[in-house]
Amino acid sequence: MKKDLKAVILAAGKGTRMKSKTPKVLHEIFNKPLIARVIEATNKTGSVENIVVIGHGGELVEKYLSQNYKNSTIVVQKEQLGTGHAVKTANEKLKNYKGNVLILCGDTPLIKKETLIDFVNFHNENNSDITVMSAVFDNPKGYGRIIRNKNDELEEIIEEKDADENVKKIKEVNAGVYCINWETSSIGIDEIKNNNAQKEYYITDIIKWGKINNKRVFPYTINDSDEIFGINSRENLAEAVQILRKRKLKELMDEGVTIVDTNTTYISPETQIEPDTIILPSVVIEGENKIGKNCKIGPFSHLRGDCTIEDNVKIGNFVELKKAHVKSRTNVCHLTYIGDSELGENVNIGAGTITANYDSRTKIKSKTIIENGASIGSNTVMVAPVTIGENALIGAGSIITKDVGANSLGLTRAPQKEIKNYINKGE
């Protein structure tokens, strides 16, 4: 039975091993904080409110969330007494709530939205009271182990620190993602105690409570254990980038994009690319972008986000693009910076072109507009705001500070001098 859904995201842990002044969940993977990746996946499940439990460095997390994710509510857990205690704290905001609550961690940013949607659907279809996500790890060290009975039913979760040697051999682990029917089972959260090896309140004890109290308790096993990879250190952060990178490249190749060198290509998950586009080696694409079909990008191109590239475009060596709309059949092939710009169709940008979009004194960024068919000579600087009209031609080496009309030649080059026989004068 489909129910209203809210989420609780646990993010109060200190993240000591990051050795950072920045709270762990604000560290970024492909320019997006860990917590943002979790919230965006959670939002896709239809969660109407995300209650984020914060502690250490909480103000920064709170500020970030209030600016970026309006449906998030903050709860402060003053002392970190365990995951169960964190959920008890969130329960203050869920008094008398009768829907489902999805619980997950702020430091597992690789969870896919499709997986969370399937997980919540499974919970609803089975009319479950408590559903817990599990995964099988070759090396399960550190994780809570899933204990099943003879009928393969979930019995309880035992933490590594409370486990004996036999339990430690179990490879099925708790992913740390739960869906709980709050009407039937939130009382179980209130009853969690801290009588264990770590003297912590474990959210995992809700499983045992559910079994004792005849609730419907189900495990939901996922295939790809990478999805629940948790970030605890800088090394984990780098590993997570590689997992997301490979996942994205595979997705693009499956959809018909050629990736010439999968070892040196970085493409953010938020970039869309259409079939028959070729990505050459050492390309870095960050942020949100749309790239059309039959384009050639690279080698050594850097797209910094908010770029729309239409079909049949070439972006070449050492070209940096930011907030740029490049229309069909336009070439930007060498040593160029294009920022805050609109480039029309069939535009040619010569080598070494710069759009000077930023005034460092006023901090104002301005736009460069280059209309259809214009040709920009090599080593041109266009000082924004400026517009180059249709089919206009800019002479190489120009510094353009004023608009150039359609079909005109714009040129700021000093006339060439030639001093005859200069070498033989003996000066």
Q: So which residues are the catalytic ones?
A: 334
Total residues at interface with Ca ion (CB under 5 A): 1
Pair 74, 62: CB distance under 8 Å: yes
Where in 89-118 is the site for Ca ion (CB under 5 A)? none
Only one of the segments 8-16, 91-99, 348-356, 402-410 lies at the binding site for ligand UD1 (rule: CB under 6 A); that segment is 8-16
Only one of the segments 81-89, 296-304, 339-347, 402-410 lies at the binding site for ligand UD1 (rule: CB under 6 A); that segment is 81-89
Residue 167 CB, shortest distance to ligand UD1, in Å, is 12
Where in 294-333 is the site for ligand UD1 (CB under 6 A)? none
Query: Which residues lie below 8 Å from residue 318, measured CB to CB, with a gap of 6+?
Result: 300, 301, 334, 335, 336
User: Quick one: which of 30, 143, 220, 229 contacts ligand UD1 (CB under 6 A)?
Assistant: 143
Q: Is 281 in the site for Ca ion (CB under 5 A)?
A: no
As a whole number of angstroms, the distance between CA 158 and CA 152 comes to: 16
Pair 300, 318: CB distance under 8 Å: yes
Q: Is 137 in the site for Ca ion (CB under 5 A)?
A: no
Instruction: Determine the residue type at 66.
Output: S
User: Quick one: which of 45, 77, 268, 398 contacts ligand UD1 (CB under 6 A)?
Assistant: 77
* Residue 106 binds which of Ca ion, ligand UD1, none (CB < 5-8 A, kind-dependent): ligand UD1
Q: Is 230 in the site for Ca ion (CB under 5 A)?
A: yes
Residue 403 CB, shortest distance to ligand UD1, in Å, is 54
Identify the three-state secondary structure at position 399.
strand
Q: How far are the Cα atoms of 183, 357, 360, 377 from residue 366, in angstroms, in the given order?
A: 54, 5, 12, 21
As a whole number of angstroms, the distance between CA 51 and CA 42 comes to: 11
Site map for Ca ion, 188-227, x if CB under 5 A?
----------------------------------------
* Residue 174 binds which of Ca ion, ligand UD1, none (CB < 5-8 A, kind-dependent): ligand UD1
Q: Which has the closest alpha carbon to 288: 302, 303, 274, 275? A: 303
Q: What is the dihedral of CA 370, 374, 378, 382, to 10 degrees?
A: -30
* Residue 172 binds which of ligand UD1, Ca ion, none (CB < 5-8 A, kind-dependent): none
Query: Which residues lie below 8 Å from residue 113, measured CB to CB, with a gap of 6+?
Result: 40, 41, 44, 45
SS (H, E, C) 236-285: HHHHHHHHHHHHHHHHHHHCCCEECCCCCCEECCCEEECCCCEECCCCEE
Q: Is 80 in the site for ligand UD1 (CB under 6 A)?
A: yes
Looking only at the bridges linking them, the beta strands covering 145-148 and 154-158 are antiparallel
Q: Which residues of 376-410 are buried (b: 16+ CB within 10 A; e: fewer)?
A: bbbbbbbbbebbbbbbbbbbebbebeeebeeebeb
Residue 19 CB, shortest distance to Ca ion, in Å, is 16
User: Quick one: which of 85, 208, 302, 323 contacts ligand UD1 (CB under 6 A)?
Assistant: 85
Only one of the segments 82-90, 115-123, 257-265, 332-340 lies at the binding site for ligand UD1 (rule: CB under 6 A); that segment is 82-90
Q: Name the residues that contact ligand UD1, by CB under 6 A.
A: 10-13, 53, 77, 80-83, 85-86, 105-107, 143-144, 157, 159, 173-174, 176, 202-204, 230
Residues that bind Ca ion in the complex, under the rule CB under 5 A: 230
